[in-house]
Chain A
């Protein structure tokens, strides 16, 4: 009875099996490859060198041409994280992305952890509300306890609700974009979200056309994020030092905020477009009140 030599002798070549009546002889691509395939078929596993190559994700527009040039857009079936402090332009990017997706007639879902979504800004940005599902977290908890808490103190109850709602949305499928807005959640609370949750979300959107988009004060999805983008107010043209103000004609003393200068930096990308060093892109926003005033003047 002949058996397969699992541990060949030291003098023999471990990759060459000469006495194998079970496996037919092959002429090509050589003995080494043939032996490897033989081992695969015996063990019932696929060797690491033969793993399926994951196809490149389809990229969709983020709604901002500068960000698209920087990142190539947002990848479908992946987790994209955008972080930044207050007034760094995260929500403007969120609205632009929502507007682009809703105008592509995709169903979108916004899981709003701190109930901070402004419908007027969204309408100005071009978001189609009939294709947007807005999930307002934390309100039920507040009403039940009868406490009046501010946005900052909306703690883990709202985050827990958001995670459960996101899980249900991703398992349901069919959404073109699912956004988790953790923008006003304290960083300590955001960091407490277990990595397993992010991993679960990443696996749920894998091989689906859904863009999972997370807005957070600082990176919290860690390695589960395929794309990590950091936004901040422009250094050269800081919104504070050099606000885009517009002098009004009447009354003479009044002036209006025209917009913000934002700078985006690509911190991490698992895509082949990954840059050798951090790259930046700058863009500017326009305050909707300026648009309102233009309409009034007309």
Chain B
């Protein structure tokens, strides 16, 4: 039963390089601790060659001119570890979270899917590289051998069955204690082996069992079994939580939207890669920006960024109703936006464009120190396209188009409408436009079949298809004036006889005829009660006769032209 191990050397450095891949060819050291007592926590190979080692003080390493210093980020390490788990889960459901930089997989049954072990290892290394990490991969007959090989050999290694001791023999003894580097016992054990003249696992494997047991006890025998590749244990699989979150902590705050978009692009691409590995998409993206502490801005109520998520209501200072709308100075610390999608999507470019448009309409208002992006996973959209289905916009393109148009006409001025259950005029509300997938009804199917059979039907007059109205049922449309136009009305025998309007000259004139009144009222039990009489009047205009809907507000007594029949 083969096992694979993915090991990321210098994990804190790799976690940072995942966020800043352009630093990979340079010497990089990760600092930990509070200033001015910061010490080097981890270094990459280039820094090691430059003479930088873990434990050196910041003052010491600052003498190295080509060295890049970064502060350790636990959040980025957690995100990198989660990405590593996602990558492993894309191969096998049985994954052991051995250490933050080490993952062991059970490869049982993987050969029919991915090919022989060598091919699996190459594919694993390629996919880890796609996650922004450089890792070494090893495949062996037992988990511990795979772990030792991954920690000892770089690149991809396959340990053949029965040749474990031979292949592991060249590794240094320190590989056995890679997990216990911070333990004092680790130094004493290595010193013991050094005094015995044992430097490699091959030397340790060659020692007699009884003599080793007499001197080091059961741990000594266990280390020898590890060195010989004969230790066996059960894998402890874990169920990786479906949390997709990426964080960037910035040393220098970002002020402009363009560099912010660049960083968002990185985060979105990482999230999309992780979601792809788990065969998932997302329907909700949550962006949290930590703003610079102590930054004070002139807060204008009309420029306030509405927070969609109620849980983040405390993220931004609310306007003080007592301030009377004047500009006040507030302290901003956190800013969040939530991007809700009608269907699960998995396209980082679409997400980025939508976020750009959203942030352009609702800017954070302060320099940004930390960016946290969370994706709520959802099963991907599975649709079966039909040959004869009516045209429907692609959800990705549609969302982007709606966001762009919302930037032109305003967020509340685009969407589909919903009528409210009331007789009050203009009773509707706007809602998100999501046409969904069209389906072909039985009647339409029949029509389609008939039309496909009939040749030369391209220009035929459409027969009574669905949706075609007989002229008797055709509804007279009303064109609404928003807002309604106030007019002066002269009455004759209780009917409108003449209209006068200073703002719109075409509404002025003698009323040729009037029909009505149509009286209605409602909400009288509320403060917003209404009562009105509606008249339909014909007024001779400059070129033709126009029909208007004339309304008399029975509460205020005013006359309004509500619209024109057209």
**Which A residues contact B (CB, under 8 angstroms)?**
55-61, 63-66, 68-69, 72-73, 85-92, 94-96, 99-107, 115-126, 129-140, 143, 148, 150-152, 161, 164-165, 168-169, 171-176, 183-184, 208-210, 232-233, 238-241, 243, 245, 253-257, 259-260, 271-273, 283-289, 291
Which of B401-417 touch A at CB < 8 Å? 401-402, 404-405, 408-410, 413-417
Contact B415 A92 (CB under 8 A): no
Given contacts A86-B566, A90-B566, A134-B414, contact A240 B545 (CB under 8 A): yes
Contact A125 B477 (CB under 8 A): yes
Across the interface, name the chain A residue whose C-beta is closest to B474. Answer: A285
Which of B463-489 touch A at CB < 8 Å? 464-483, 485
- From the candidates A91, A94, A168, A291, name the one contacting B401 in the complex (CB within 8 A): A168
Tell me the minimal C-beta distance from B427 to chain A in angstroms. Answer: 9
CB neighbours of B534 from chain A (8 A)? 289
Q: Does any Cβ of A come within 8 Å of B106's Cβ? A: no
- From the candidates A91, A240, A253, name the one contacting B477 in the complex (CB within 8 A): A91
Contact B390 A176 (CB under 8 A): yes
Across the interface, name the chain A residue whose C-beta is closest to B400. Answer: A172
CB neighbours of A56 from chain B (8 A)? 458-459
CB neighbours of A63 from chain B (8 A)? 467-469
Once bound together, how far apart are the Cα atoms of A126 and B472, in whole Å?
Answer: 14
- From the candidates B474, B513, B541, B544, name the one contacting A286 in the complex (CB within 8 A): B474
Once bound together, how far apart are the Cα atoms of A72 and B459, in whole Å?
Answer: 7
Most buried by A among B389, B390, B434, B563: B390
Given contacts A121-B475, A139-B410, A165-B405, 13 further A-B contacts (CB under 8 A): A59-B461, A63-B468, A86-B541, A87-B565, A104-B466, A107-B392, A119-B419, A119-B428, A130-B435, A173-B393, A208-B391, A285-B471, A286-B475
Q: Does any Cβ of A come within 8 Å of B512's Cβ? A: yes
Once bound together, how far apart are the Cα atoms of A59 and B461, in whole Å?
Answer: 8
Binary CB contact string for chain B from 491 to 511 against chain A (1 if under 8 A, 0 otherwise): 000100000000110100000
- From the candidates B391, B467, B518, name the one contacting A126 in the complex (CB within 8 A): B467
- From the candidates A96, A104, A119, A283, name the one contacting B390 in the complex (CB within 8 A): A104
CB neighbours of B513 from chain A (8 A)? 240, 243, 245
CB neighbours of A121 from chain B (8 A)? 475-478
Given contacts A87-B547, A107-B392, A287-B476, contact A99 B471 (CB under 8 A): no
Binary CB contact string for chain B from 513 to 537 against chain A (1 if under 8 A, 0 otherwise): 1011110000000000000001010
Given contacts A102-B467, A136-B409, contact A116 B482 (CB under 8 A): yes
23 contacts between A and B (CB under 8 A): A64-B468, A64-B469, A85-B544, A91-B479, A107-B393, A116-B481, A120-B419, A125-B477, A126-B467, A131-B435, A133-B402, A150-B483, A161-B409, A168-B405, A172-B401, A174-B392, A174-B393, A239-B545, A253-B494, A255-B515, A255-B516, A257-B565, A285-B477
Q: Does any Cβ of A come within 8 Å of B356's Cβ? A: no
Given contacts A150-B503, A173-B397, contact A285 B475 (CB under 8 A): yes
Contact A174 B469 (CB under 8 A): no
Contact A87 B566 (CB under 8 A): yes
Contact B547 A239 (CB under 8 A): yes
Contact A271 B459 (CB under 8 A): yes
- From the candidates A101, A118, A152, A238, name the one contacting B563 in the complex (CB within 8 A): A118
Once bound together, how far apart are the Cα atoms of A107 and B398, in whole Å?
Answer: 11
Contact A260 B404 (CB under 8 A): no
CB neighbours of A245 from chain B (8 A)? 513, 515
Contact A284 B474 (CB under 8 A): yes
Q: Does any Cβ of A come within 8 Å of B251's Cβ? A: no
Q: Does any Cβ of A come within 8 Å of B222's Cβ? A: no
CB neighbours of A174 from chain B (8 A)? 391-394, 397-398
Once bound together, how far apart are the Cα atoms of A121 and B402, in whole Å?
Answer: 25
Compute the total of residue contacts between A and B using a CB distance below 8 Å.
296
Which of B526-560 touch A at CB < 8 Å? 534, 536, 538, 540-541, 543-547
Given contacts A134-B414, A168-B405, A259-B476, contact A150 B504 (CB under 8 A): yes
Given contacts A64-B468, A286-B476, A289-B518, contact A240 B417 (CB under 8 A): no
Once bound together, how far apart are the Cα atoms of A49 and B482, in whole Å?
Answer: 54
Contact A116 B398 (CB under 8 A): no
CB neighbours of A172 from chain B (8 A)? 393-394, 397-398, 400-401
Tell me the minimal C-beta distance from B214 to chain A in angstroms. Answer: 79
CB neighbours of B400 from chain A (8 A)? 172
Contact B393 A88 (CB under 8 A): no
Which of B446-471 touch A at CB < 8 Å? 458-462, 464-471
Once bound together, how far apart are the Cα atoms of A78 and B430, in whole Å?
Answer: 30
Q: Does any Cβ of A come within 8 Å of B292's Cβ? A: no
Once bound together, how far apart are the Cα atoms of A175 and B435, in whole Å?
Answer: 10
Once bound together, how far apart are the Cα atoms of A126 and B469, in whole Å?
Answer: 9
Tell me the minimal C-beta distance from A251 to chain B in angstroms. Answer: 9
Given contacts A131-B435, A133-B415, A150-B485, contact A89 B401 (CB under 8 A): no
Given contacts A119-B419, A240-B538, contact A183 B459 (CB under 8 A): no
CB neighbours of B392 from chain A (8 A)? 106-107, 174
- From the candidates A61, A66, A129, name the one contacting B465 in the complex (CB within 8 A): A61
Tell me the minimal C-beta distance from A62 to chain B in angstroms. Answer: 8
Across the interface, name the chain B residue whose C-beta is closest to A132. Answer: B416
Q: Does any Cβ of A come within 8 Å of B93's Cβ? A: no
Most buried by A among B394, B430, B538: B538
Contact B444 A104 (CB under 8 A): yes
Contact B544 A87 (CB under 8 A): yes
Contact B566 A183 (CB under 8 A): yes
Tell me the minimal C-beta distance from B459 to chain A in angstroms. Answer: 6
Contact A129 B419 (CB under 8 A): yes
Once bound together, how far apart are the Cα atoms of A60 and B468, in whole Å?
Answer: 10
Contact B467 A257 (CB under 8 A): no
CB neighbours of B485 from chain A (8 A)? 150
Once bound together, how far apart are the Cα atoms of A110 and B150, in whole Å?
Answer: 61
Once bound together, how far apart are the Cα atoms of A90 and B458, in whole Å?
Answer: 26
Q: Closest 9 interchain pairs by CB?
A: A174-B393, A100-B467, A91-B477, A103-B467, A240-B545, A140-B410, A105-B438, A91-B566, A172-B401
Across the interface, name the chain A residue whose C-beta is closest to B563. Answer: A118
Contact B563 A116 (CB under 8 A): yes
Once bound together, how far apart are the Cα atoms of A129 and B431, in whole Å?
Answer: 10
CB neighbours of A165 from chain B (8 A)? 405, 408-409
Across the interface, name the chain B residue whose C-beta is closest to A282. Answer: B471
Across the interface, name the chain A residue whose C-beta is closest to B418. Answer: A129
Once bound together, how far apart are the Cα atoms of A216 and B424, in whole Å?
Answer: 30
CB neighbours of B409 from chain A (8 A)? 135-140, 161, 165
CB neighbours of B295 from chain A (8 A)? none
